[in-house]
Structure 1
Amino acid sequence: MKINKVLNNNVVVTTNQHGQEIVVMGKGLAFQKKVGQRIDEDKIEKNFVLQDTGTSEKLNQLLQDTSDKYLDIASEIYEYARSILPYKLNDYLYIALTDHISFAITRMKEGIQLKNTLLFEIRKYYKKEFDIGLHSLDIIEEYTGIRMNEDEAASIALHLINSQLSGENMEMAVQVTDVVNKVLNIVKYHYKTEIDENSINYERFLTHLRFFTVRFLREEHIEETIDEFFYEQVQSKYHQAYKCTEKIATFLEKNFNWVLTKDDMVYLTIHIHRVTYRQRKTN
Structure 2
Amino acid sequence: MKVLKVLNNNVVIAEHEEFEEVILTGKGIGFGKKTGDSVGEEKAEKFFILHGKEEQEQYKQLLNEVSEDFIACMNEAMSFVKEQYKFELNEHIHIGLTDHLFFAVRRLQQGMEIKNPFLHETELAYPKEYAAAEEIIEYMNRCVGVSLPKGEIGFVTLHLHSAVSNRSLSDVNKHTQLVSNLTEVIEKSLNIELDPKDMNHQRLFRHLHQAIQRIQNNTYNEEEPHSLKKVLMEEYPVCYNLSWKLIKIMQHSLQTTIPDSEAVYLTLHMQRLSRTK
TM more than 0.5 = yes
- Deviations 1:41-72 (CA, angstroms, capped at 9, x unpaired): 34453412323x23222211222442221112
Bigger mean CA offset, 197-206 vs 91-100: 197-206
Partner residue of 1:102?
A: 102
Q: 1:243 to 1:44 in 2, by over 3 A?
A: farther
Aligned pairs (5 A) from 1:6-85? 6-17=6-17, 20-42=20-42, 43=44, 45-51=46-52, 53-82=53-82
Partner residue of 1:233?
A: 227
Give, as a single letter, the amino acid of the residue that structure 2 aligns with 1:184.
Answer: T
Q: Secondary structure at the match of 1:5?
A: strand
Are residue 222 (structure 1) and residue 218 (structure 2) matched? yes
How many Å separate the matches in 2 of 1:249 and 1:8?
A: 52
Pairing partner for 1:252 from 250, 257, 270 = 250
How many Å separate the matches in 2 of 1:164 and 1:207?
A: 18
Partner residue of 2:119?
A: 122
C-alpha contact 2:3 2:12 (8 A) present in aligned 1: yes
Give, as a single letter, the amino acid of the residue that structure 2 aligns with 1:125.
Answer: T
Aligned pairs (5 A) from 1:125-274? 125-126=122-123, 128=127, 129=129, 132-169=132-169, 171-195=170-194, 197-198=196-197, 203=202, 205-210=204-209, 212-213=211-212, 220=216, 222=218, 226-227=222-223, 230-236=224-230, 238-239=232-233, 240=236, 242-254=240-252, 257-262=255-260, 265-266=261-262, 269-270=264-265, 273=268
Q: Which runs of 5+ in 2 are unaligned?
A: none
Q: 1:179 to 1:152 in 2, by over 3 A?
A: same
- Deviations 1:187-214 (CA, angstroms, capped at 9, x unpaired): 4445444456346775565345335445
Q: Secondary structure at the match of 1:260?
A: coil
- Deviations 1:234-261 (CA, angstroms, capped at 9, x unpaired): 4235544654431211223456644313
Q: 1:221 to 1:89 in 2, by over 3 A?
A: closer
Aligned residues between the structures: 269
Q: 1:222 to 1:162 in 2, by over 3 A?
A: closer
**Runs of 4+ more than 6 Å apart:** none
Q: Which runs of 5+ in 1 are unaligned?
A: none
- Deviations 1:160-180 (CA, angstroms, capped at 9, x unpaired): 3433441513x3332121101
How many Å separate the matches in 2 of 1:101 and 1:125?
A: 18
How many Å separate the matches in 2 of 1:196 and 1:275?
A: 14
- Sequence identity of aligned pairs in percent? 20
Question: CA offset at residue 274 of structure 1?
Answer: 5.1
Q: Secondary structure at the match of 1:148?
A: coil
C-alpha contact 1:10 1:30 (8 A) present in aligned 2: yes
How many Å separate the matches in 2 of 1:251 and 1:151?
A: 27
CA RMSD of aligned residues (A): 3.7
Q: 1:184 to 1:81 in 2, by over 3 A?
A: farther
Give, as a single letter, the amino acid of the residue that structure 2 aligns with 1:222.
Answer: N
How many Å separate the matches in 1 of 2:84 and 2:208?
A: 22
